[in-house]
Structure formats: C-alpha cells, structure tokens
C-alpha cells in the first residue's frame, strides 16, 4: 500500500533529502513510524503527525491512500 | 522616531523623582530595543561590584520597535538588571500586553533606580507618572496584587507585580503580569522587591508611529494568512506548549528526578492531551497572537480549588517530572502556588528536586527540613518548601538563595547534583544526549536557560554523539533568537510555526524606516551578546571558562534508563565544545572577548575599560 | 436582537482592537478602536467582547441628530456630533468609546477587518446578525 507524507517546511530545512510531499510504499499492517522510517527520518525528528485534521499516533496502523502531515518537533519556545 | 514612542522614563525611587528623556538615535541604532536597551543601560549605569539588592542596581523594563503594532505577537517586554542569582547581567522577558501599553503611554523603556522608603508602586497613565504607596498590597500574592490594582485602577491598566518572594529577596523571584505570565528568570522580582517596588501599572492612549503603514498592513497580512493556514496552528491552540512533554520524554530530554534521568516512566500523567481533557477551562493569548498557548486551568488539592494559567512545558518538566509528581493537576496546583508566591517555576522546580534528592541520599534529614518529608513525588512537600522559601523560614532561607548556594552549605556530594550554570538553575532540557544543547546551556549569557539557543533538533539531525562542528549552530541561534527579544516580538511564530525570518526582515524597514538588513540586525545582536559577556568579565576578575562549566552529574553519570540509556558526555567533549565556541566568537581560550572582537563590534569603550582593568589582553 | 459572539472562545489577544485602529484611523492604537476586549480572568477565566450590535438605541437620544442607521450600520456623523456623551450613557452594550484625540465617540463601522483577522473566527456573528437586521 502507499501512504503520502507531507513535510512541514521547517523539516525540509533540516533534512534536505525531504520533499514537500513523498510517497512511501509499505507492507499491510505498517504503522506511521514505518512510513517515517521509509522516508529516512531519524527517531525524534518529527513532532506531531496529523491525518484528516486529527492527531495521528506514531504506532497507529496506516491505510492505503492515507495522507499524513508531518510537523517538526517543538523548537524550545 | 518610527516604531518607537521616543522616550525613556527614569524613576529614582530614593528621592521619588521621575523624568522623561528622549530616546537617542545612537541607542536605537546600536541596541534596537528590549534586551538591547537592558544590556546597554545595565552595563553603563550599574557600577562594578554593585549589590544587586542595593539602590545602585537598575531595573530596566523595555519594549521594542515591533511591540504593540499590527503584526503577530508584538507582545514582549524585556526586564533587565544585575541578577541576584548570578551576580552578572540578567534579563527575562514576559508576554501579555505590557510592551504595547508602555508605548501607548509614550515610553519605550523605564529605568528604575534607588530604593523607595516604604512599599510603593509606580503608576504611569500617559504623561502622569506617580510613585504611590503600596502598603495595602505588601504581603499579597502576585496575582492577587494585580487583581486588587485592576479593581482600583481599571482593566485598561497593564500591571506587573511581585509576590512575597520578591519582597523577601528570593533570588529566583519572578515578575508577574496579565494573570499568569511571568518574567521568570534571573530574580528580576527580587530586584523589584529590593527597591520596595511592589508593582508597575501602565495605561496609555497614544498611537505608535510607523514609517509605512501600508507596508506594515501588507507584510502583516501575509504573516497572519500563513499562520492561519498552517496545520500546526490548531495543535498549538489546542495543547499549547504542553504538547512538548511527551516528545521530550520520547527523545530522552525530559528532566526527571533532579536531572538524574531524562525519561519519566509516568509521563502519561503529565501529557498535554490529559491536561486538555482534565483541567483546561479556557485558552488565553498574548497581544495579537493567534497561537493562544496560554491554558487556563482549574486544579484542586486537599480541598482547595484554584484557577491558574498553565502549566506550560517548562513548569511541567521542572515541577512535574523533575520532582516526580504524579499528575498534571498536581503540577497545575504547584504552578498556582509558585505564581501567587512570585517564584519562578523553573528554578523552584530545580530547588525542590535538588532538596528531594539530597533528602533521599541522606545529605540532609528531617532535622534540616524542619520536619518536612521531602520525598520525590510529594506535592505536600513541594508546597511546604515553596512557602518556606517565599517566607525565608528555616530551610527556606537557604533554599531562597538557589541550588548553587545551598550546595555550598551541604557539601561536595551535593555540589555535583546542583543543576545550574553561573548560579541560574537549568531549564527543561536534559542534554547529555544533545551536545549542542549542552553547549547552549553552558554559554547562555544569563545562566542555564534555553531561550538564547535551542538546538536539540540539530543534535538529532546531525548525530547525538557528534561533538565537532556543533558550536556554529549555537552561535547562530544566540544571535537570531535574542533578536526577537530586542524587537519586542515573540519568536514562537517563527520557531514553532515556521513563519519565515524574511517576513521579520521586511517588517523592520516598514516599521522603523531604517535600512538595516537582517544581517545588520544580527551584528547588533552579536554586539549585545559581547556586551553582556563583558559585564561578567568586568564584574569578576576570575570570570571565564569555569563559569561555562556544567554540573558534574552530566559528565560523571551516564544516562541510567530510557531511550538514551548508557549515553554520556565526557569532560573532553565539553572542552572541545567550548574551544570551538570561543574560537568562533573571537574570545580567548578562557572565554574572554578579545580586544579585536569588541572593536569589530563597535565596543571600543568597553575594550578600553576592560584592558585598563587588566581583564583582557 | 441577537449578536451571538461566542465570547467563551475569545482568547483576549486584542488583535481586533489593533486592526480596527489601523483600518479606521490608519494608526496603531488599540484605544482608537470600536471594539474592546475586557478581562474577566481573575474571577471567571474569560473575556468579554464589547462591540456595537447596531441596535440603534443611541439614534433617538442624540440631541444633535448626529447618529443614523445607514444600510444596517449605526453611524456617527463627526460634523454634527458635539461629543456630549449622551449616547455613551444610553448604549446598552457600553460599546461607544472615547479617546482624547478624537472629537466624537468611536464605534464599530462594520468594516469587517476584525472579523477577517480574529484567530478564533468568533466575530463573524457581528456581521451576520446585522445582515439579519437589514433583511428584516
């Protein structure tokens, strides 16, 4: 299945390999964490994930066609 | 002068004298505003060796050119003085509505010197400036004081107050404003208290002139549009800074049990989501800010229910996990106790956690605590200690001087677990696994605070064990982040919501009519950074590398558990970080600005003074 | 007559006040504004939003016939107004404001700028309720 990841600009500035939008091809039963790993993003690099205007938990199973917006972690106020 | 009200208000409390003087072109050109004004006046007017509690210390309350205007969150007031916590330059900023109100009253900064004979408050009502008696307010809580003054004067007054802790000179006493906003750090509340100044109340009706009102409308329209379209905005509105807690825990950065750990096993009880579900009753914003990160909460403990703004992340980290409290409602209650007493929650959390660990280790006993069972996880103990500190009773008298002084009294074993730099307690990021952040804490000009540079994501991105090359990011942040404190604008819209810096660069000329580029402004920020360093070098003959050194715990103990278990940083690593940092800054190996560096930044007078004193070569 | 501003959702940022002054006076000055946010923080943990709902009660009390209803907008004519203050006392909402530099009470002109910028989107009710009036 394929999942679309949308990365906030602040993340693209830190991780130059990221595009604004990337597709990840995943096995059935994969989680949001697997999708981020597929985009080569290290643990801790992301802050909050949104999908359909709600928070998406990192261990949540994702489904085909799902769009996940990846926001950077906080930046210390 | 576009972007400015055009006046400095001087208040000499010793002789009850107030006077206005015009803002000078030179000051504005070199130091911008806010923290820059604070650094300039504190360096220039507080003589070396001055007692921070004495009449010679100056409290500078300064707005900046972006404050009070139609743009996102021009809400920041910087408050500066010689800090009783560190003995060097200190400042702390506060949001809310004070910064704009000062300008509407025709004032860019208030410089308060001397000491009033009796408890007083300062009233600024446009051109009317009065020093009024505050006998009826003395002893009241910081929030209660604001409430009483609002009833007396009216809601249009913007008010800054201190609580009992400020009156008693607790070195981490804060200044309170707008119900639940604080200039928390560096003991600015104690400086106010030492001057017998209980509150400052301001109301103004004037317009703030800008160079190009249409240009301002255009740039701010773009900024607001981008903010409102940002998907992260709703998360910030919903959770505020509380969302940080679980993230910091997941990457091994959440201060836990006096920074012994950086992972709190009970973090779910402190999460932003739980906070929203259980205690939040409303959202609150600073001036012209769409983020509304202030969360109004109701919390109950032992039959008492209180209304409090917060806790935000720092409070949750330092009072919650660092004292091992069990629930966000307990943290909110402790937050209320600190706000009303006028204690900085960051330092108070550190001081109590330090006491709890010393109690656990047997360094101190119930004989020392006056019978308090100072165990991790006890909100009762937190509240009792907080009250003793604010009243300076028993153990509270020692703890009121901060962890560094308490550790001097309690001996070597406690010294390595007193978590501070330069005498200022460490804020909410444990950094054994984040070398650039460690360096940021070590070199922050006011002591161990995160506001000047915050670079944990940089450590995650380039490698958490990487040492070399890390200092450059810290220097970069130490120039750009404090620039916001000079401009009088909040930086959250930039750092957290990714609003591009180019917008702020475009705002500067339309507001001020000046042609400085963003790079020019960064040079001014570097000048201010070197001036605050020079203050410390002038102040103490032996000031240098040892003052940029973190507590022993961080290089003697590896991380015990959590995602970074076994991780550590060595003394050699720390020295490498400092060597690289000093080199980039143009400072000598002992961390003193070189004469050529000061000269390059237009600080020739400072260079001459330090050279004549033999402080720099 | 109902203007249904959801005041409980107001965060007290006062962006409405500053944009009002810029839109109507070309100046940065939230005291030259036809809307006021009043803190009820200490007792009720909320804010009041005070703004004209164009009910028109001030029209008849004006001794100088300076106030009129114009396409659903209650408007003060600065030429006729003597700044006597009678309308201010008569306003049931307390939504007419004075300023030392302005020779007449300041009130909402229904320009819509505050509605457009309000981060909570709660001021839309302002225009909506008045449109209802006009339709009547």
- Using one digit for the tens of pLDDT, what is the confidence trace for A44-55? 888 888 998 888
Mean pLDDT (whole number) for B455-463: 93
Q: Is C15 on the interface with B (CB under 8 A)?
A: yes
**C2 has pLDDT over 70:** no
Asked if the structure places residue C34 within a domain, the reply is yes
Nearest to B122 by CA among B195, B53, B69: B195
Q: Are B492 and B72 in contact (CB under 8 A)?
A: no
Asked if the structure places residue C50 within a domain, the reply is yes
Sign of CA dihedral B346, B351, B356, B358: positive
- Provide the domain limits for residue C39: 7-54+93-131
Asked if the structure places residue C14 within a domain, the reply is yes
Number of domains in chain A: 1
Provide the whole-model pTM. Answer: 0.96
Asked if the structure places residue C67 within a domain, the reply is no
Do C42 and B207 make contact, defined as CB atoms within 8 angstroms? no
**Beta-bridge mates of residue B111:** B10, B60
Backbone angles phi, psi at B312, to 5 degrees: -95, -170
The single residue listed with the structure tokens 């959770």 is B239
- Asked whether at least 3 C-beta pairs link A and C within 8 Å, the reply is no
Do B231 and A50 make contact, defined as CB atoms within 8 angstroms? yes
How far apart are the C-alpha atoms of B112 and B191, rounded to whole Å? 10
Substitution target in C10, C11, C24, C46 with the highest count of B β-carbons within 10 Å is C11
How far apart are the C-alpha atoms of C133 and C136, rounded to whole Å? 5
Chains A–B, number of C-beta pairs less than 8 Å apart: 66
Q: Is C42 on the interface with B (CB under 8 A)?
A: yes
Residues of chain B contacting residue A36, judged by C-beta atoms under 8 Å apart: none
Do B451 and A69 make contact, defined as CB atoms within 8 angstroms? no
CA atoms within 13 A on the CB side of B503: 23
Q: How close B150 comes to chain C (CA, Å)?
A: 10
- Provide the domain limits for residue A14: 2-70
Do A72 and B498 make contact, defined as CB atoms within 8 angstroms? yes
Digit-coded pLDDT (tens) for C32-47: 999 999 999 998 999 9
Do C31 and B217 make contact, defined as CB atoms within 8 angstroms? no
Domain B435-497+515-612, CATH number (from 1.10.599.10, 1.10.1660.10, 1.10.10.10, 1.10.274.10):
1.10.599.10
How far apart are the C-alpha atoms of B304 and B282, rounded to whole Å? 20
CATH number for the domain harbouring residue A29: 3.10.20.30
Q: How close B142 comes to chain C (CA, Å)?
A: 12
Digit-coded pLDDT (tens) for A3-25: 999 998 888 888 989 999 999 99
So what's the pLDDT on residue C132? 44
Count the neighbouring beta carbons within 10 Å of the beta carbon of residue B274: 18
Number of domains in chain C: 1
Q: How close A4 comes to chain B (CA, Å)?
A: 16
Q: What residues have CB less than 8 Å from A70, skipping those under 6 apart? A: A5, A6, A7, A8, A11, A36, A41, A46, A49
Asked if the structure places residue C85 within a domain, the reply is no
ipTM above 0.90, yes or no: yes
Question: CATH top-level class for B7-203?
Answer: alpha beta
So what's the pLDDT on residue C128? 58
Structural domain spans, chain B: 7-203, 231-425, 435-497+515-612
Q: Is A72 on the interface with B (CB under 8 A)?
A: yes
Substitution target in B461, B492, B503 with the highest count of A β-carbons within 10 Å is B461
CATH number of B231-425: 1.10.569.10
Compare CB distances from B205 to C9, C26, C100 and report the shortest one's residue: C100
Average pLDDT over chain A reads 90
Asked if the structure places residue A40 within a domain, the reply is yes
Q: Is A69 on the interface with B (CB under 8 A)?
A: yes
CA atoms within 13 A on the CB side of B463: 6
Asked if the structure places residue C64 within a domain, the reply is no
Q: How close C134 comes to chain B (CA, Å)?
A: 30
**B356 has pLDDT over 80:** yes
Chains B–C, number of C-beta pairs less than 8 Å apart: 89
Q: Are B110 and B102 in contact (CB under 8 A)?
A: yes
Residue of chain B whose Cα is closest to the Cα of C25: B207
pLDDT-derived band at B382 (thresholds 50, 70, 90) equals very high
**C4 has pLDDT over 50:** yes
Q: Is A74 on the interface with B (CB under 8 A)?
A: yes
Asked if the structure places residue C16 within a domain, the reply is yes
pLDDT-derived band at B324 (thresholds 50, 70, 90) equals very high
Q: Read off the DSSP letter of residue B256.
A: B
So what's the pLDDT on residue B350? 98
Digit-coded pLDDT (tens) for B34-52: 999 999 999 999 999 999 9
Do B100 and C26 make contact, defined as CB atoms within 8 angstroms? no
So what's the pLDDT on residue B251? 93
Q: Is A73 on the interface with B (CB under 8 A)?
A: yes
So what's the pLDDT on residue C130? 52
How far apart are the C-alpha atoms of B284 and C10, rounded to whole Å? 8
CA B139 to chain centre: 24
Q: Are B31 and B488 in contact (CB under 8 A)?
A: no
Residues of chain A contacting residue B454, judged by C-beta atoms under 8 Å apart: 75-77
The single residue listed with the structure tokens 């409070």 is B315
Asked if the structure places residue A75 within a domain, the reply is no
Q: How close B393 comes to chain A (CA, Å)?
A: 34
How far apart are the C-alpha atoms of B315 and B241, rounded to whole Å? 10
Asked if the structure places residue A76 within a domain, the reply is no
Mean pLDDT (whole number) for B562-589: 98
Residues of chain A contacting residue B461, judged by C-beta atoms under 8 Å apart: 14-15, 42, 45
How far apart are the C-alpha atoms of A13 and A45, rounded to whole Å? 12
């Amino acid at each position: 299945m394929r999942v679309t990841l949308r990365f906030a600009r602040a993340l693209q500035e830190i991780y130059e390999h990221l595009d604004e939008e990337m597709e990840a091809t995943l096995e059935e039963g994969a989680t949001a964490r697997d999708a981020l790993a597929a985009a080569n993003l290290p643990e801790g690099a992301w802050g909050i994930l949104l999908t359909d205007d709600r928070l998406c938990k990192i261990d949540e199973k994702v489904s085909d066609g799902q769009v996940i917006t990846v926001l950077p972690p906080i930046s210390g106020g | 002068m576009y972007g400015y009200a055009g006046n400095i208000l001087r208040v000499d409390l010793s002789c009850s004298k107030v006077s206005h003087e015009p803002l000078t072109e030179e000051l504005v050109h070199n130091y911008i505003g806010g923290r820059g004004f604070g650094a300039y006046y504190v360096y220039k007017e507080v003589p070396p060796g001055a007692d921070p509690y004495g009449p010679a210390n100056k409290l500078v309350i300064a707005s900046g050119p972006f404050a009070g205007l139609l743009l996102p969150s021009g809400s920041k007031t910087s408050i500066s003085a010689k800090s009783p916590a560190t003995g060097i330059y200190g400042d702390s900023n506060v949001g809310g509505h004070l910064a704009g109100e000062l300008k509407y009253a025709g004032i860019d900064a208030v410089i308060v010197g001397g000491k009033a004979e009796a408890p007083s408050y300062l009233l600024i009502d446009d051109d009317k400036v009065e020093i009024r008696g505050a006998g009826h307010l003395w002893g009241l809580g910081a929030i209660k004081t604001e409430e009483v003054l609002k009833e007396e004067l009216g809601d249009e007054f913007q008010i800054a107050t201190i609580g009992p802790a400020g009156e008693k000179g607790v070195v981490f006493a804060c200044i309170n404003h707008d119900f639940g906003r604080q200039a928390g750090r560096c003991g600015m509340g104690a400086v106010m208290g030492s001057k017998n100044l209980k509150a400052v109340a301001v109301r103004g009706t004037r317009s703030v002139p800008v160079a190009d009102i249409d240009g301002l409308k255009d740039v701010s329209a773009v900024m607001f549009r981008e903010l409102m379209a940002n998907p992260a905005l709703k998360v910030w509105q919903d959770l505020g800074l509380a969302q940080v807690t679980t993230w910091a825990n997941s990457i091994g950065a959440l201060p836990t049990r006096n920074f012994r750990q950086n992972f709190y096993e009970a973090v779910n009880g402190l999460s932003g989501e739980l906070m929203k579900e259980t205690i939040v009753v409303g959202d609150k914003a600073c001036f012209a800010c769409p983020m509304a990160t202030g969360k109004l909460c109701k919390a109950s403990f032992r039959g008492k229910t209180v209304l409090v703004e917060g806790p935000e992340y720092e409070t949750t980290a330092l009072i919650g996990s660092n004292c091992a409290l069990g629930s966000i409602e307990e943290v909110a209650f402790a937050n209320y106790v600190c706000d009303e007493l006028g204690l900085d929650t960051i330092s108070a959390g550190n001081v109590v956690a330090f006491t709890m660990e010393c109690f656990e280790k047997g360094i101190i006993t119930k004989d020392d605590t006056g019978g308090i069972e100072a165990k991790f996880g006890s909100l009762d103990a937190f509240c009792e200690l907080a009250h003793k500190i604010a009243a300076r009773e028993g153990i509270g008298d020692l703890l009121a001087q901060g962890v560094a002084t308490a550790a001097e009294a309690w001996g070597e074993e406690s010294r390595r677990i007193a978590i501070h730099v330069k005498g200022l307690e460490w804020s909410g990021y444990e950094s054994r696994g984040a070398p650039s952040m460690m360096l940021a804490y070590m070199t922050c000009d006011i002591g161990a605070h995160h506001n000047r540079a915050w670079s944990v994501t940089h450590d995650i991105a380039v490698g958490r064990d990487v040492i070399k090359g890390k200092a450059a990011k810290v220097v970069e942040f130490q120039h750009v982040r404090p620039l916001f404190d000079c401009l009088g604008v909040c930086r959250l819209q930039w750092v957290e919501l990714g609003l591009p810096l180019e917008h702020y660069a475009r705002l500067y000329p339309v507001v001020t009519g000046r042609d400085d580029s963003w790079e020019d402004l960064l040079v001014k920020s570097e000048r201010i950074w070197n001036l605050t360093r020079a203050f410390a070098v002038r102040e103490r003959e032996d000031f240098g590398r040892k003052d940029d050194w973190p507590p022993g715990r961080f290089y003697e103990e590896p991380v015990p558990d959590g995602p970074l278990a076994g991780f550590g940083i060595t003394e050699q690593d720390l020295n490498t970080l400092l060597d690289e940092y000093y080199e980039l800054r143009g400072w000598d190996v002992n961390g003193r600005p070189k004469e050529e560096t000061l000269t390059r930044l237009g600080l020739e007078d400072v260079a001459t003074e330090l050279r004549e004193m033999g402080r720099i070569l | 007559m109902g203007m249904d501003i959801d005041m409980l959702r107001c965060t007290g940022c006062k962006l409405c006040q500053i944009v009002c002054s810029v839109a109507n006076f070309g100046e940065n000055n939230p005291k030259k504004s036809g809307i006021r946010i009043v803190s009820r923080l200490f007792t009720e943990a909320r804010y009041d939003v005070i703004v004209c709902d164009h009910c028109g009660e001030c029209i008849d009390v004006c001794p100088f016939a300076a106030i009129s209803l114009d396409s659903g907008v209650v408007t003060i004519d600065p030429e006729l107004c003597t700044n006597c203050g009678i309308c201010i006392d008569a306003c049931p909402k307390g939504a007419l404001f004075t300023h030392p530099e302005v020779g007449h009470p300041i009130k909402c002109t229904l320009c819509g700028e505050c509605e457009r910028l309000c981060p909570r989107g709660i001021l839309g009710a302002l225009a909506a309720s008045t449109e209802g009036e006009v339709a009547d």
